[in-house]
């Protein structure tokens, strides 16, 4: 069964406002993201921090609201 277009949608919620995200990125975006991730990840070696790439929802101020973003690269310490 094919997935509906709505199932592919990504969105972010900032200050209670929902923003549609762009369609899936192209290969150039992936190359840039991959390079940024690699540089950051290498720089974090030996620390307690980890780098993550895309598709991780980050809920900031979760105790105050239900806003969230989906960053391309994220560092968690």
Residue 26 burial (10 A CB sphere; 0-12, 13-18, 19+) = exposed
The answer to whether residues 29 and 19 touch, using CB atoms and an 8 Å cutoff, is no
Q: Is 72 left (phi over 0), alpha (psi -120 to 50) or beta?
A: alpha
Q: Is the pLDDT of residue 6 over 60?
A: no
Q: Which of 69, 76, 22 is nearest to 44 (CA)?
A: 76
The predicted model scores a pTM of 0.69
Q: Each residue of 10-59: pLDDT tens digit?
A: 788 888 899 888 777 788 988 999 999 999 999 999 999 999 987 788 88
Q: Where are the domains of the chain?
A: 9-76
Q: Each residue of 57-68: pLDDT tens digit?
A: 888 877 888 898
Domain 9-76 has CATH 3.40.50.300: no
**For residues 24 and 26, what is the distance between their CA atoms, to the nearest angstrom?**
7
């Amino acid at each position: 069964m094919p997935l509906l277009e709505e199932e592919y949608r990504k969105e972010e919620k900032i200050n209670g406002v929902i923003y549609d995200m762009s369609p899936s990125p192209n290969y150039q975006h992936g190359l840039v993201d991959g390079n940024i991730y690699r540089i950051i990840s290498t720089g974090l070696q030996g620390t307690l921090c980890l780098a993550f790439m895309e598709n991780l929802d980050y809920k900031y101020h979760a105790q105050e609201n239900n806003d969230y973003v989906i960053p391309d690269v994220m560092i968690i310490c």
